[in-house]
Structures are given as C-alpha cells and as structure tokens.
Amino acid sequence: DAGVIQSPRHEVTEMGQEVTLRCKPISGHNSLFWYRQTMMRGLELLIYFNNNVPIDDSGMPEDRFSAKMPNASFSTLKIQPSEPRDSAVYFCASTRKGPQETQYFGPGTRLLVL
Amino acid sequence: DQQVKQNSPSLSVQEGRISILNCDYTNSMFDYFLWYKKYPAEGPTFLISISSIKDKNEDGRFTVFLNKSAKHLSLHIVPSQPGDSAVYFCAAYTDKLIFGTGTRLQVFP
C-alpha cells in the first residue's frame, strides 16, 4: 500500500521566492495534516483538513503561508514570499477520520531558504 | 509556549540496557498520550499510546507510564537494541495532537 506521498523531498530556494509543497494522503483517509519540524519547537501543527475543509489553521505562522486541499487526494502548502526562518522539514500526515486516530506521516520535505 | 516538553534532547544507552525517555506536559485536559519514533529521512511512525485513565501500557519491549499528578509520562525500552536508535517524540491529544521537541536516542553496542 502506498503511504503518504510528499514532493519534493528537498527544496532549496532563495529568500523572496514562492515555494509549493505537495502531499497525497493515503487513499480513503479523510483528514490531512501539515506539520513543521524545527529543532527549537519540534513538530508543530500548521493546519488540518477534514473532508477537504480546513478545520484548524491556528498554527499557520502568518499570511505568507497558505494551504489548500482541492480534492481528497491532493493538498498543497504554499509559502510566498519565503524567508530564511521558514527553513525546516515539513510533514504531511493523514488519518481516516480525524486527529484522534493514529496519524500516518509522509517522508517530509526538507526546505532550505537562502 | 510549549505544552509538551521533552527536556533531554539526547540520550545514549548501551545495548541490552534500559532506555528511559521522559516527557512533561502542562495541560491537564489532555486525554490521550502517544509516542512516535522517527528515523532519519523518514516521517514519524506511531509507537505506543496511553489513555489518561490508565497509568501503564505495555507492548513488547516498550512500556509507557503516565503520572497524571506530576503531569509526566515516560517511555521505557527494555532491552534496548541498536535498531531503536532514532528520535522519539512525545505527543498529547485533546482536540489535536501537540508534539514535544523530541529526544534523540542512540543505542551503542
């Protein structure tokens, strides 16, 4: 079975550029989560969707970050404009019904903003 | 403001001995606690969990202990194996999962 798929796996960009991270959840999973991992703050929940609808975006750092889920099999996290402090590993996770279930994580996208 | 804290960023243990990873939390409303394990270049994977109504849950070599009065939980790995070397994240749940900063465990021969 395919797990959660994320692309790209690595992204290096310059400050000010737009960055788009992509995620395909496990088929049949209706909840999708975006996390950011940093040394200082560990894994932080940025936003989660249930049935393609954003439920909680309180973790989104600021207006430079946006996330969409146009259908059940695809989500994007966009940073525009990117800044060096956005450098981190971004994970996508999914569950069948909601955050109370075991979350299955993708391999992550390592982002470096120069 | 970290609601879930892992104060030891790293731990080194000899193979065969016990590994004890600790986690403290501040929110008494958390009703479910989990440990995730993460290898390099991979996403975290679920390891073990415990409900707030219990004080211990065991799964093979892994045992999680919960002390609600101290707002503290710990993960015991016995015996530790080199394959256990990874980053371990503690997480707590109310309406969403809150993760700690992780502890890097290294098990050496």
pLDDT in tens, chain A (114 residues): 689 999 999 999 999 999 999 999 999 999 999 999 998 888 999 999 999 999 999 999 889 999 999 999 999 999 999 999 999 999 999 999 888 889 999 999 999 999
Residue B6 at interface with chain A, using a CB cutoff of 8 Å? yes
Q: Could you read off the pLDDT of B5-40 as tens digits, one per residue?
A: 999 999 999 999 999 999 999 999 999 999 999 999
Which of A74, A64, A110 minimizes the C-alpha distance to A91? A110
Chain B closest-CA separation from residue A105 CA (Å): 5
At B71 the pLDDT is 96
Question: A45–B32: do the CB atoms touch at under 8 Å?
Answer: no
Question: A56–B42: do the CB atoms touch at under 8 Å?
Answer: no
Q: Which amino acid is at A47?
A: I
Angle CA A96–A70–B42, to nearest 5: 55
Per the listing, tokens 């797990």 go with A3
Which residues of B, range 13-32, sit inside 8 Å of A by Cβ?
Answer: 32
Residue B97 at interface with chain A, using a CB cutoff of 8 Å? yes
Strand A31-38 versus strand A19-24 pairing type? unpaired
